[in-house]
Structure 1
Amino acid sequence: MNTKASMLCVAAGLAIVPYAHSQSDSTLKTLGNFQTTGKAEFTVIDQNSDRADAIRKTLETIRLPEGFEISLYARVPDARHMAVGPQGVVTFVGTRKTEVWAVIDQDKDRIADEVKNFAPSLAKAVPNGPCFSSDGVLYIAEQNRVLAYPAAESFYKGGDVMAYEVIPRGTLIPKQFVSYNHTARVCDIGPDDKLYISLGQPYNVTPPEYIDTFGKLGIGGIIRLNRDGTGREVYTRGIRNSVGQDFHPTTGDLWFTDNQVDGMGDDIPPGEINRQTAMGQHFGYPWYGGGDVRTNEYKGEKVPVEVVFPVSETVAHAADLGMMFYTGDMFPKPYQGGIFSAQHGSWNRTTPIGARVMFTPVDADGNIAGETVPFAEGWLADNGEYLGRPVDVAQLKDGSLLVSDDLAGAVYRIAYTGP
């Protein structure tokens, strides 16, 4: 296999950000002892700027079903995956850079009052994936470690926030496999109160010599572990790069998006929404590049695993990322219980596609009840220019929908206002 060719996905542009090792370790120790570091200088994002006005102008072009409205919730630089705090006061927004942002709506008017960086005294590297436990612990999956912040929603106002390592720096994956490609992690707490973390693999198509190693480590899969970091195991196998997951609120099954193989043409292979019903199930990669389309590199080989195919296929190269089950009651009945997901948009397709929020209907028994269709679109202009690139979706306490956008540097709010 041509290993160089298998790195086609590098245009995702994920840069490695090195830790200041000794400084980071020292700061964690200080914070763990409830001591101050003296480094509490915040970066505060102006919410009433010309840039905010320009984003609002773009939102006038977004198309939604009748009765829905979209507005600017907050300016948030490089906004990626989101975690809404249990109290509904702060939404924590990760990035593929070095910051996690605290988006604060103290007066609950559904517009952010303030946006500032979270825990500025602690260095971070690609802190893309925040998630909350039901008892208020914020977990953040970084490029190569996982931190826990107890009571983050209570102590976000200070520069020093209690934190400890769940997975120490440099041990989420072996250092030799750390890449600028496919290392934006996401996390969730499952119905079993365990932590689930996606581990995208660094190649477009995994070379044969790494298949067994990656399988043992959970690279190209989703790992599961206890919230204290013990009991790590590989829960999901055979995925390329999942950057969106959620658990069905009734069945408890894990559902996730997956990004398909690049370089096979404009229209194949399809993107995926997958449903996992048992630990250890295999979803086909690298023998399949998306759906039932075989990869060129493994096309002539017998598939050595039993494959679970996607429950919904999406258009090729639209880059399906964050997803969630809608559990609110603000939206009309047809949307309740279904999946909202974000398509980041293509980077290597002749005619660009994506940059929208999708909806997939799911019935009361937890089964797909129709095709995945556009819900909010218009960030991709007719001339092929991206005006925004949605990354993740999250639900506020009132049942409205948040959408993050790392190109515009924004978080939007979609609400249903009638009829």
Structure 2
Amino acid sequence: MNSYFTTTILAGTLALLVTPAAAQQAELPDNIERLQNMQSTGTTSFEQIAQDGPFADGIRATLEQIELPEGFQIELYAVVPDARHMAVGPQGIVTFVGTRKDKIWAVTDRNKDRVADEVKDFAPSLAFTIPNGVCFGPDGMLYTVEQNRVLIFPAAEFFYESPDVAVGQVVAQGELIPQEEESFNHSARVCRIGPDDGKLYISLGQPHNVPPPEKLDLYRDWGIGGIIRMNTDGTEREVYTTGIRNSVGHDFQPGTGDLWFTDNQVDGMGDDIPPGEINRQTKMGQDFGFPYYGGGDIRTVEYEAETPPADAVMPVVEMTAHAADLGMTFYTGSMFPERYKGAIFSAQHGSWNRTEPVGARVMVTTLDEEGNATTEPFAEGWLDENGEYLGRPVDVAQLRDGSLLVSDDLAGAIYRISYEGGQ
């Protein structure tokens, strides 16, 4: 395909994507405007992250004490500061990694030895605010969800080599949630493209431990404390899920298309209650009970005198209280043994206010033909015998070869788990 044709097609795609956002916001930040017009910004350099030396060696030493089922091994894939949620490129070229700060990282394994050769910041000419959520559509479009904006990057696996990238706005700055509701708390969004409808699904955590009653109507209208969906150009936004406190991980089950998601539950009720959750949503509009329930069927003190929704959906799996279940993915690869096909791999970030810390591990949830779930630790050892965190897993993603990547925002790393044992 010649360069003129490629540029023409891309410009047409961007024109379609920019139109709704341009109607929403008359004046765009300078670099967004220049990039949408396919103009250079003058940015010429990247921040590069060293992949060897004492820091990487220290992470490798920690990995020696991680416990896995027989036949599995874990290795350092990349040093990635503040690594949070991951999006593996559909062409297998690059993995994009979000953070809770102001960076998105591009991680490349150029020689395909399953260890990253290069980690550099993505789109350094743009200013990001909590760009935690990254996800790919099947057409190769990369979506990034910030605290209060959603961007789309066509041909991200091609343009990431340059400081300037093709970009469009799905939701303009300040229009994902009301600006007065912007918060430092529970603002790490995640996203997925739905398997059947092709819509963009985005989680919106509500910022409180338990929200005050006067906020409930506003939050329900916007989908704060829920999951929203919209067309990939930002139109036809609607609230898909309600009754969630702060979900930072979701995925669609292969075969059924059902939406499964983790949820972090209420603090301050005790070490052992309420439980964390893995939930299953089978249709639009289901309510999962928060803030009337703090986790599982445990009522919150603030709403114990109120009548909860009669049709509130209880979790499929109750997880260890305060372990902070975050990213999750269904396993669809062929590398792992048969028992893991269709299983959910999820990351527990670890507790912050429990008397005895828990979590900091990767869990696996297997489902039988009747839909019954069994959950057990899969990779653990980041919480040592002294109660010290040596790492805090955030997200799990699958490489094309069927191995798993695990991000860790404490160590600032991505690990790769592979299988070499017999079936």
Q: TM-score range by the shorter chain?
A: over 0.9
Q: Equivalent of 1:232, from 227, 231, 237?
A: 237
Unaligned runs of 5+ in 2: 1-24
Please name the residue that 1:418 is paired with.
421
Matches within 5 A, 1:165-244: 165-191=169-195, 192-244=197-249
Quote how far apart the aligned CAs of 1:295 are.
0.4
Give the residue type in structure 2 aligned to 1:394: A
Quote how far apart the aligned CAs of 1:364 are.
5.0
CA contact (8 A) 1:221 1:240 kept: yes
Q: Equivalent of 2:285, from 280, 285, 295?
A: 280
Please name the residue that 1:57 is paired with.
61
1:262 is aligned to 2:267: yes
Please name the residue that 1:5 is paired with.
none
Please name the residue that 1:332 is paired with.
337
Query: What is the CA–CA distance in structure 2 between the aligned matches of 1:93 and 1:253, rounded to whole Å?
Result: 25
CA contact (8 A) 2:187 2:207 kept: yes
Query: What is the CA–CA distance in structure 1 between the aligned matches of 2:190 and 2:200, rounded to whole Å?
Result: 10
Q: Equivalent of 2:257, from 247, 252, 258?
A: 252
Query: What is the CA–CA distance in structure 2 between the aligned matches of 1:24 and 1:99, rounded to whole Å?
Result: 20
CA contact (8 A) 1:319 1:346 kept: yes
CA contact (8 A) 1:341 1:358 kept: yes
Cα deviation, 1:289-326, whole Å, max 9, x if unaligned, reads: 00000001111221144200000010000000000000
CA contact (8 A) 1:282 1:305 kept: no
Look up the SS of the partner of 1:373 in the other structure: strand
Please name the residue that 1:308 is paired with.
313
Matches within 5 A, 1:45-124: 45-124=49-128
Look up the SS of the partner of 1:280 in the other structure: coil
Unaligned runs of 5+ in 1: 1-20
Please name the residue that 1:402 is paired with.
405
Matches within 5 A, 1:287-366: 287-363=292-368
CA contact (8 A) 1:24 1:123 kept: no
Look up the SS of the partner of 1:147 in the other structure: strand
CA contact (8 A) 1:200 1:240 kept: yes
Compared with structure 1, are the counterparts of its residues 24 and 157 closer, same or farther at alpha carbon in structure 2 (3 Å cutoff)? farther
Please name the residue that 1:11 is paired with.
none
Cα deviation, 1:181-200, whole Å, max 9, x if unaligned, reads: 00000000001100000000
What TM-score, normalized by structure 2, do the two folds share?
Answer: 0.92
Query: What is the CA–CA distance in structure 2 between the aligned matches of 1:195 and 1:29, rounded to whole Å?
Result: 23
CA contact (8 A) 2:362 2:393 kept: yes
Query: What is the CA–CA distance in structure 1 between the aligned matches of 2:329 and 2:92, rounded to whole Å?
Result: 17
Query: What is the CA–CA distance in structure 1 between the aligned matches of 2:124 and 2:148, rounded to whole Å?
Result: 19
Identity among equivalent pairs (%): 68
Q: Equivalent of 2:381, from 361, 378, 381?
A: 378
Quote how far apart the aligned CAs of 1:89 are.
1.2
Query: What is the CA–CA distance in structure 2 between the aligned matches of 1:26 and 1:317, rounded to whole Å?
Result: 42
Cα deviation, 1:75-97, whole Å, max 9, x if unaligned, reads: 00000000000011100000000
Quote how far apart the aligned CAs of 1:40 are.
2.6
Query: What is the CA–CA distance in structure 1 between the aligned matches of 2:88 and 2:205, rounded to whole Å?
Result: 24
Query: What is the CA–CA distance in structure 2 between the aligned matches of 1:261 and 1:299, rounded to whole Å?
Result: 14
Quote how far apart the aligned CAs of 1:22 are.
12
Look up the SS of the partner of 2:367 in the other structure: coil
Please name the residue that 1:157 is paired with.
161
Give the residue type in structure 1 aligned to 2:344: I
Query: What is the CA–CA distance in structure 1 between the aligned matches of 2:160 and 2:236, rounded to whole Å?
Result: 30
What TM-score, normalized by structure 1, do the two folds share?
Answer: 0.93
Look up the SS of the partner of 1:361 in the other structure: strand
